[in-house]
Amino acid sequence: MSRAAALADQIESAIVAGEIASGTRLGTKDELRRRYDVAYGTLNEALRILQQRGYVMSRTGPGGGLFATIPTSSERLGLLLSVLPEPGTLADCAEARHALESAVAVDATRSRSRADVSDLRRILKRMESAAAADDSEYLHENWRLHRRIAESCSNRVLANLYIILLDANEPGPGMRVPDRRRVTNATENLIAHRELIDAIASGSVERARRAVEAHEAFFAPVTDTPIPRNGRAASPNRAARNARRS
């Protein structure tokens, strides 16, 4: 990794963690060069990377300078898609995210800490509470769980790409969006997610892969009707039980 890329990552991490609040004036280029003890060329390249990612903006005039900012999920997605030779759709984003599920779960299984596992279990408890009462809240806790799994990864490129794709499909607060690709059975869905978290906590990569297979059994090519129980897709309940055999 180049010095400029490392500096960009350092500043971005501080912004994301809240150590540098969004809207904070970072200073002039000369001030930043002295603060981080780097050459102008290194600083300029780091700032270019940060502006490309959407974490730094420049303002001119009195009181101007460089300011920290946190891009919205749609802005991050726009930045991601802007470098692709062809445009994509939200359906494309969902499909790409599902393709990353196994890699994310395996990385999280290898990298998770006790704090990560505790957070995942707390979110799972909220999912359990919401399952019988509030479909909208259940869906949002589901999103939070998958985002938190990605945050447990050591591969930050993989984690950030997954989160960007996840955020692209997350409905706004209070919105209830039916997912045509999910079997609508909250009990079996909870079983699959509980096994996924247990697998990550266990540290068994093979168990994590099996748990992802159980989770992905809730999905199939997009149709207007749920997957029938006697269809080709494996029963999520059975898949979740199988996932524990590792």
Q: Domains (ranges, CATH) in the chain?
A: 3-68 (1.10.10.10), 74-243 (1.20.120.530)
Q: Which residues contact 23 (CB under 8 A, 6 or more apart)?
A: 67, 68, 69
Largest CA distance in the chain: 68
State the Cα–Cα distance between residues 200 and 198, nearest whole angstrom.
6
Q: Which residues pair with 65 in a beta bridge?
A: 59
Q: What would the two tokens of residue 243 be?
A: 């996932």
From first to last of its 246 residues, the chain has per-residue pLDDT tens of 688 888 988 998 888 888 999 899 998 888 899 999 999 999 999 998 888 778 898 888 787 788 999 887 667 666 666 666 776 777 788 888 899 999 999 999 999 999 999 999 999 999 998 887 767 788 888 988 999 999 999 998 899 889 888 877 665 444 444 443 443 567 788 899 999 999 999 999 999 999 999 888 876 544 333 333 343 434 444 444 554 544
Q: Is the whole model's pTM more than 0.95, yes or no? A: no
CA distances from 139 to 87, 131, 151, 172 (A): 28, 9, 19, 11
Question: C-alpha angle 7/13/15, rounded to 5°?
Answer: 105
Task: Identify the DSSP state of 113.
Answer: -
